[in-house]
């Protein structure tokens, strides 16, 4: 799924768990917006779990036009309740990066790991 400042519809998905508890969550992504060491073109979004703020997500650039160079975001710990949970990645005004104009990335996979 493609994310940018212009294409910033939230990504909504659900996760079901057999019991309440903490889980680790990360995302496999690509960001070919610029070099790794300069330009401040990381993607930034906010994760909500069951309607509540859970964490910020950072998708650093991985090289100029390196859209096939996949990496993993920061791993976050989320509290999930027993049964179905609603998760959402959204663009908030405070997700602006230092570049200001470029805030884009691709998500390929959502990774859950039991704590």
Sketch the domain layout of the chain as residue ranges. Answer: 2-114
99-111 residue pLDDT tens? 778 889 999 999 9
pTM of the model as a whole: 0.89
CATH of domain 2-114: 2.60.120.260
Structure tokens at 13: 């998905």
Q: pLDDT tens across 20-77, in order?
A: 999 999 999 999 999 988 888 999 999 999 999 999 999 999 999 999 999 999 899 9
């Amino acid at each position: 799924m493609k994310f940018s400042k212009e294409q910033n519809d939230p990504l909504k998905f659900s996760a079901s768990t057999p019991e309440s508890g903490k889980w680790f969550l990360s995302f496999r992504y690509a960001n070919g917006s610029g070099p790794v060491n300069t330009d401040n073109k990381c993607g930034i979004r906010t994760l909500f779990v069951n309607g509540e703020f859970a964490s910020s997500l950072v998708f650093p650039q991985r090289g100029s036009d390196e859209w096939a160079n996949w990496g993993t975001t920061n791993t976050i710990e989320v509290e999930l309740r027993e049964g179905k949970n609603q998760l959402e990645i959204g663009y908030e005004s405070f997700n602006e990066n230092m570049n200001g104009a470029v805030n884009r990335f691709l998500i390929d996979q959502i990774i859950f790991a039991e704590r």
